[in-house]
Amino acid sequence: MKKVSTDKAPAAIGPYSQGIIAGDFLYASGQIPINPATGEIEGEDIKAQTDLVCRNIGEILKAAGTDYEHVVKTSCFLSDMGDFADFNGVYEKYFTGKPARSCVAVKQLPKNVLCEVEIIAYLK
Protein backbone atom coordinates (compact mmCIF):
# COMPACT_ATOMS: atom_id res chain seq x y z
CA MET A 1 0.00 0.00 0.00
CA LYS A 2 1.05 3.56 -0.66
CA LYS A 3 -0.35 6.81 0.73
CA VAL A 4 -1.32 9.55 -1.72
CA SER A 5 -0.84 13.13 -0.63
CA THR A 6 -0.85 16.47 -2.41
CA ASP A 7 -0.85 20.04 -1.17
CA LYS A 8 -3.15 20.89 -4.10
CA ALA A 9 -6.05 19.25 -2.26
CA PRO A 10 -7.13 19.86 1.34
CA ALA A 11 -5.10 18.21 4.05
CA ALA A 12 -6.94 15.59 6.08
CA ILE A 13 -8.87 17.13 8.99
CA GLY A 14 -8.64 13.92 11.00
CA PRO A 15 -6.61 10.74 11.40
CA TYR A 16 -6.76 9.58 7.78
CA SER A 17 -5.00 9.93 4.41
CA GLN A 18 -6.16 11.80 1.32
CA GLY A 19 -5.91 8.49 -0.49
CA ILE A 20 -4.40 5.04 -0.46
CA ILE A 21 -3.19 3.04 -3.44
CA ALA A 22 -3.76 -0.67 -2.92
CA GLY A 23 -2.97 -2.89 -5.86
CA ASP A 24 -4.34 -1.30 -9.02
CA PHE A 25 -6.79 0.98 -7.22
CA LEU A 26 -6.88 4.37 -5.54
CA TYR A 27 -9.23 4.71 -2.60
CA ALA A 28 -9.67 8.42 -1.88
CA SER A 29 -11.15 9.80 1.30
CA GLY A 30 -14.26 11.93 1.10
CA GLN A 31 -13.63 15.46 -0.07
CA ILE A 32 -15.51 18.50 1.15
CA PRO A 33 -15.34 22.04 -0.29
CA ILE A 34 -12.18 23.22 1.42
CA ASN A 35 -9.85 25.55 -0.45
CA PRO A 36 -6.47 23.82 -0.10
CA ALA A 37 -4.61 27.14 -0.13
CA THR A 38 -6.55 28.70 2.76
CA GLY A 39 -8.01 25.71 4.60
CA GLU A 40 -11.38 27.48 4.53
CA ILE A 41 -14.77 26.23 3.35
CA GLU A 42 -15.76 27.92 0.09
CA GLY A 43 -18.99 28.11 -1.86
CA GLU A 44 -22.31 29.46 -0.66
CA ASP A 45 -24.47 27.02 -2.64
CA ILE A 46 -24.43 23.38 -3.72
CA LYS A 47 -23.13 24.17 -7.22
CA ALA A 48 -20.08 26.08 -5.99
CA GLN A 49 -19.34 23.53 -3.27
CA THR A 50 -19.69 20.59 -5.66
CA ASP A 51 -17.34 22.24 -8.14
CA LEU A 52 -14.63 22.71 -5.50
CA VAL A 53 -15.09 19.13 -4.23
CA CYS A 54 -14.66 17.80 -7.77
CA ARG A 55 -11.58 19.94 -8.40
CA ASN A 56 -10.04 18.67 -5.16
CA ILE A 57 -10.75 15.10 -6.24
CA GLY A 58 -9.05 15.85 -9.55
CA GLU A 59 -5.87 16.87 -7.72
CA ILE A 60 -5.82 13.65 -5.71
CA LEU A 61 -6.39 11.64 -8.89
CA LYS A 62 -3.51 13.49 -10.55
CA ALA A 63 -1.22 12.87 -7.56
CA ALA A 64 -2.00 9.16 -7.87
CA GLY A 65 -1.26 9.18 -11.62
CA THR A 66 -4.83 8.72 -12.81
CA ASP A 67 -7.84 10.83 -13.83
CA TYR A 68 -11.63 11.15 -13.73
CA GLU A 69 -12.08 8.67 -16.60
CA HIS A 70 -10.62 5.93 -14.41
CA VAL A 71 -13.01 6.49 -11.49
CA VAL A 72 -15.07 3.33 -11.12
CA LYS A 73 -17.19 4.22 -8.05
CA THR A 74 -18.25 7.33 -6.19
CA SER A 75 -20.08 7.72 -2.93
CA CYS A 76 -21.86 11.05 -2.64
CA PHE A 77 -23.30 12.57 0.50
CA LEU A 78 -25.68 15.54 0.46
CA SER A 79 -27.01 17.45 3.41
CA ASP A 80 -30.28 18.03 1.51
CA MET A 81 -31.74 15.85 -1.27
CA GLY A 82 -33.40 19.00 -2.54
CA ASP A 83 -29.93 19.80 -3.95
CA PHE A 84 -29.80 16.55 -5.96
CA ALA A 85 -30.44 18.07 -9.41
CA ASP A 86 -28.00 20.96 -8.94
CA PHE A 87 -25.38 18.58 -7.53
CA ASN A 88 -25.78 16.30 -10.56
CA GLY A 89 -25.48 19.24 -12.95
CA VAL A 90 -21.95 19.95 -11.71
CA TYR A 91 -20.95 16.34 -10.98
CA GLU A 92 -21.66 15.19 -14.53
CA LYS A 93 -19.20 17.74 -15.97
CA TYR A 94 -16.35 15.98 -14.16
CA PHE A 95 -17.42 12.33 -14.07
CA THR A 96 -18.18 11.98 -17.78
CA GLY A 97 -17.41 8.25 -17.75
CA LYS A 98 -20.45 7.76 -15.49
CA PRO A 99 -18.90 5.57 -12.78
CA ALA A 100 -21.04 3.48 -10.47
CA ARG A 101 -22.42 5.69 -7.72
CA SER A 102 -24.40 5.91 -4.56
CA CYS A 103 -25.86 9.21 -3.39
CA VAL A 104 -27.55 9.66 -0.04
CA ALA A 105 -28.73 12.47 2.18
CA VAL A 106 -27.19 12.59 5.63
CA LYS A 107 -28.14 14.51 8.73
CA GLN A 108 -24.94 16.55 8.84
CA LEU A 109 -21.54 16.69 7.13
CA PRO A 110 -18.20 17.86 8.55
CA LYS A 111 -18.00 21.63 8.98
CA ASN A 112 -21.69 21.84 7.97
CA VAL A 113 -20.89 21.65 4.24
CA LEU A 114 -23.53 20.77 1.66
CA CYS A 115 -21.77 17.82 0.00
CA GLU A 116 -18.97 15.30 0.28
CA VAL A 117 -17.71 12.87 -2.37
CA GLU A 118 -15.35 9.90 -2.09
CA ILE A 119 -14.01 7.86 -5.00
CA ILE A 120 -12.43 4.60 -6.02
CA ALA A 121 -10.34 4.78 -9.20
CA TYR A 122 -8.48 2.29 -11.33
CA LEU A 123 -4.85 3.27 -11.91
CA LYS A 124 -4.01 3.75 -15.56
Residues 6+ apart with CB under 8 A from 116: 30, 31, 32, 53, 76, 77, 109, 110
- Give me the number of domains the chain comprises: 1
Catalytic residue among 54, 76, 103, 115, which?
Answer: 103
For the entire predicted model, the pTM comes to 0.96
How far apart (Å, rounded) are the C-alpha atoms in residues 53 and 1?
A: 25
What is the per-residue pLDDT across 92-101, written as a single tens digit (0 to 9) for each? Answer: 999 999 999 9
**What residues make up the domain containing 79?**
2-122
Q: Is 103 a catalytic residue?
A: yes
How far apart (Å, rounded) are the C-alpha atoms in residues 25 and 27?
A: 6
pLDDT at site 124:
75
**CATH number reported for the structural domain that contains residue 14 in this entry:** 3.30.1330.40
CA distances from 80 to 23, 72, 85 (A): 35, 25, 11
Nearest to 104 by CA among 90, 93, 118, 94: 118
Residues 6+ apart with CB under 8 A from 97: 68, 69, 70, 71
How far apart (Å, rounded) are the C-alpha atoms in residues 71 and 79?
A: 23
Residue 1 binned pLDDT confidence (cut-offs 50, 70, 90): very high
Residues 6+ apart with CB under 8 A from 73: 99, 100, 101, 119, 120
pLDDT at site 14:
85
What is the per-residue pLDDT across 46-79, written as a single tens digit (0 to 9) for each? Answer: 999 999 999 999 999 999 999 999 999 999 999 9
Percent of the chain at pLDDT > 70 equals 100
